[in-house]
Amino acid sequence: MRRPLPATAYDINLVILEESVPTLIAVAHGTRSAAGRRQLRELAASVARRRPGADVRLCYVDVQEPKVAAVVPTAPDAVVVPLLLSCGYHVRVDIAEAVAGTGIPVTAPLGPDPVLLEILTRALPPADAVVLAAAGSSDPGWRADVAGVASRLARSGGAPRVRVGYVSGAGPRVPDVVAQFRAEGAKRVAIAAYLLAEGLFYRSLRDAGADFVTPPLCHDAAIADLVLSRFDAAVTAPATGRAEYV
């Protein structure tokens, strides 16, 4: 949005246009974990520090308040950035319904993005095998995204063997995949936590039988940079007058 600034005495006939920056609405899943809530707030604060003067508002699709549907009407000039790891139900339904009819753009979620693979690779110690631990979902696109991350992690040289394990839902559970690796002779098994922040799912990984569990993704400063990258791409994209993914 552009608005005219008052002309000065030195250039009375000149109208200067100032570019106002949209509000960044960061939408996380939400958690009951006090540590996870703190980490999400710290992530939002880190984004704001990287962009002085920016209006960064954190909201949620589940568990916590405020919900995204309550925040969107308070910021008509905004960009929604899903702090989610795939374009699953919460992006396609919850967030889409919240912005319907507003013209507010929604960026792609944080995952799958090469930045996340870099974070996992940096966090992993040397290991014979790695379990990519993800929250479960019945969404085929979500599961394909996670499988793609596991495949790229294996090709990156992070470990000779990488398999997906789920914390919930259908599919192989994380402890079972760890046990399978042990049965195949793996001496050192690591879990790559494909989770943004601490919570019930992350805590369960500590008891899954692995030798090491990587920190949640939000522990890496690159996550805040990725959020701003998504935001900046949306701000510079041509306006269409309708809500869309950019």
Question: 1-24: per-residue pLDDT in tens?
Answer: 434 444 343 343 433 334 678 999
Q: Residue 152 pLDDT > 70, yes or no?
A: yes
Q: Residue 241 pLDDT > 90, yes or no?
A: no
Task: Kindly indicate the confidence band of residue 245, based on its pLDDT and cuts at 50, 70 and 90.
Answer: low
pLDDT of residue 89: 83
Under 8 Å CB-to-CB from 34, ≥6 apart: which residues?
none
For 57, phi and psi rounded to 5 degrees? -120, 125
> What is the distance between the alpha carbons of residues 31 and 77, in angstroms, rounded to a whole number?
27
What percentage of the chain's residues is helix, strand, coil (to nearest 5)?
A: 40, 20, 40
| Average pLDDT of the chain to the nearest whole number | 89
pLDDT of residue 11: 40
Instruction: Give 44-60 pLDDT, tens digit per residue.
Output: 999 999 999 999 999 99
Instruction: Give 170-188 pLDDT, tens digit per residue.
Output: 889 999 999 999 999 999 9
Q: Does residue 14 or residue 127 have the better pLDDT?
A: 127
Does residue 224 contact residue 47 with C-beta atoms inside 8 Å? Answer: yes
> What is the distance between the alpha carbons of residues 182 and 213, in angstroms, rounded to a whole number?
16
Task: Kindly indicate the confidence band of residue 239, based on its pLDDT and cuts at 50, 70 and 90.
Answer: low
> What is the distance between the alpha carbons of residues 31 and 11, in angstroms, rounded to a whole number?
54
pLDDT of residue 19: 60
> What is the distance between the alpha carbons of residues 155 and 223, in angstroms, rounded to a whole number?
22
Full set of structural domains in the chain with CATH: 2-110+221-236 (3.40.50.1400), 114-218 (3.40.50.1400)
pLDDT of residue 242: 42
Task: Say which range, 15-24, 60-69, 100-109, has the weakest mean pLDDT.
Answer: 15-24
Percentage of residues of the chain with pLDDT beyond 70: 89
The secondary structure of 16-83 as a DSSP string is: EEEEPPPEEEEEE---S-HHHHHHHHHHHHHHHHHSTT--EEEEESSSSSSBHHHHGGG-SSEEEEE-
Under 8 Å CB-to-CB from 64, ≥6 apart: which residues?
28, 30, 31, 37
Question: Which residue, 76, 200, 61, is CA-closest to 136?
Answer: 200
